[in-house]
Amino acid sequence: MGEVFLAFDRSIQQSVALKVVRDESRLPGDDEALRQEAVLARSVGHPNVCRVHDLAPSPWGPVLIMEHIAGQTLHTHIRRRKAHGGYKADEFRKIASEICGGLAAVHAAGLVHGDLKPGNVMVTDQRAIILDFGFAQERARAAGRRPGAPPDGGTPNYMSPERLRSGGASVQDDLYALALTLWEMWTCRVPEPGYKPRAKPMRQQIMFDVPASLSIDEVKQIFMGLSPHPEMRPAARHMRFFNPALLTTSPVQAPRERLNPGPPLGRGQTASFHPDVQGLLVTYATNNQDIVGELLPLDKPELSLGRQSSQDISLPEATVSGRHALVRWQQGTWVLEDKGSTNGSYADHDYERKERV
């Protein structure tokens, strides 16, 4: 959309970033749209959003005067962390929380970003900051785009399915881009490129990438953000990233206050059932996407799993047999025993049918 230069503003005695919108990329109405958006953007006073100072004319086109941030892009930050094995859980949570907070402030001001991605987030020693709003031209042009044409603005790798098909930037598209940005941080993998809807849903691509260091609730938020149904994506202001050690003794179990541990110990009673992992997260379903992201409690030592409603864990998914398997807590771990299901049970990145997992 433009070029960015470093300058020194003598009126405020500090360095600023100047973004020049190129003449060749402008259409009628773009200047007014940019002016209106700049006015609104100045009202976003949030530590995790780049401050917009002013919009000024110039011989080369409108110049957006913004806060200068000394740091590195999240894109570069991810590449460097990848070289050392990826992010530690608490560092991931801090950056993720700050990006969510910044985007929530943008949406609260009545704005959309339109080009959220790791390249448009700066990371300093103190904080993560969202910058480079790309929505003004994109929104001005969206109404005139022919169906099926590639979007003019934004970055296709981070666009939602509905925006890739025909739409313009929106709050729901921002939320999808947020989830993809968090996914890229978490896996250190770049989403597949393309100017058309993805052949393989993102939630299928990441089903084997769930890190043990994140809680089930944290993982679920990202899965929901990647839903093909816009109304299912959680708002940025509702996303929470927390250290589960503050709530429970295991980083991957559901908070124990959500489960009933049974009656207090008494004479003749055995110890309460307290497995390390107390929830089963549905990460992928071939036919029923509505169950993806569901957290199924593992609240007793043996549970039946299947499609029938009479099973302890009922999964309304065609590839699951009526009585598919038994899930047992044995010697400090959960074991799944296939009970002669039609389609079988698979695990450990292995596509061979297993009787016991």
**Domain assignment of residue 212, yes or no:** yes
| Residue 356: Cβ-neighbour burial (10 angstroms; 0-12, 13-18, 19+) | exposed
Domain containing residue 310: CATH number: 2.60.200.20
- Core vs surface per residue 260-292: b (16+ CB within 10 A) or e: eeeeeeeeeeeeeeebeebbbbbbbbeeebebb
H-helix segments, 109-191: 135-142, 161-165, 171-187
**Domain assignment of residue 289, yes or no:** no
Task: Give me the DSSP letters along 46-65.
Answer: -TTBPPEEEEE--TTS-EEE
Final residue before a domain boundary, out of 193, 211, 238:
238
- Predicted confidence band at 250 (pLDDT cuts at 50, 70, 90)? very low
What is residue 244's DSSP assignment?
A: G
Question: Does the annotation count 115 as an active-site position?
Answer: yes
In this structure, of 79-93, 227-241, 267-281, the range with the lowest mean pLDDT score is 267-281
pLDDT in tens, 24-74: 666 666 677 677 777 777 888 899 999 888 888 888 777 888 888 989 999
**Catalytic residue chosen out of the listed positions 30, 115, 174, 338:** 115
pLDDT in tens, 203-215: 555 544 555 577 7
Final residue before a domain boundary, out of 207, 238, 269:
238
- Predicted confidence band at 80 (pLDDT cuts at 50, 70, 90)? very high
pLDDT in tens, 135-175: 544 454 544 455 555 555 678 888 888 888 877 788 999 99
337 with 218, same domain: the answer is: no
What is residue 252's DSSP assignment?
A: T
Number of folded domains that form the chain: 2
pLDDT at 196: 45
327 with 182, same domain: the answer is: no
205 with 336, same domain: the answer is: no
Task: Give me the DSSP letters along 136-157.
Answer: HHHHHHHTTPPTTPPPSSS-GG
**Domain assignment of residue 243, yes or no:** no
**Domain assignment of residue 324, yes or no:** yes
Enumerate residues 6+ apart whose C-beta is below 8 A from 323: 304, 306, 308, 311, 339, 341
**Domain assignment of residue 268, yes or no:** no
The percent of residues in the chain predicted with pLDDT above 90, rounded, is 22
Mean pLDDT of 345-356: 70
pLDDT at 93: 92
188 with 311, same domain: the answer is: no
pLDDT at 259: 39
219 with 316, same domain: the answer is: no
**Domain assignment of residue 6, yes or no:** yes
Averaged pLDDT of the chain: 77
**Domain assignment of residue 331, yes or no:** yes
First CA to last CA across the chain, in angstroms? 51
| Residue 303: Cβ-neighbour burial (10 angstroms; 0-12, 13-18, 19+) | buried
The percent of residues in the chain predicted with pLDDT above 70, rounded, is 71
In this structure, of 10-19, 139-148, 294-303, 340-349, the range with the lowest mean pLDDT score is 139-148
Domain containing residue 55: CATH number: 1.10.510.10
41 with 170, same domain: the answer is: yes
pLDDT at 95: 95
Query: 161, 210, 171: which is closest to 187 by C-alpha?
Result: 210
pLDDT in tens, 279-328: 777 767 777 777 777 777 888 889 999 999 899 999 888 889 999 999 98
Final residue before a domain boundary, out of 215, 238, 261:
238
15 with 97, same domain: the answer is: yes
Residue 192 token pair: 């597949």
pTM score of the predicted model:
0.65
pLDDT at 121: 95
194 with 325, same domain: the answer is: no
**Domain assignment of residue 273, yes or no:** no
Mean pLDDT of 250-259: 41
pLDDT at 23: 65
Determine the Cα–Cα distance for residues 177 and 116; give it in Å rounded to an integer: 6
Q: Which domain holds residue 311?
A: 300-357
Query: 18, 29, 16, 2: which is closest to 56 by C-alpha?
Result: 18
pLDDT at 220: 82
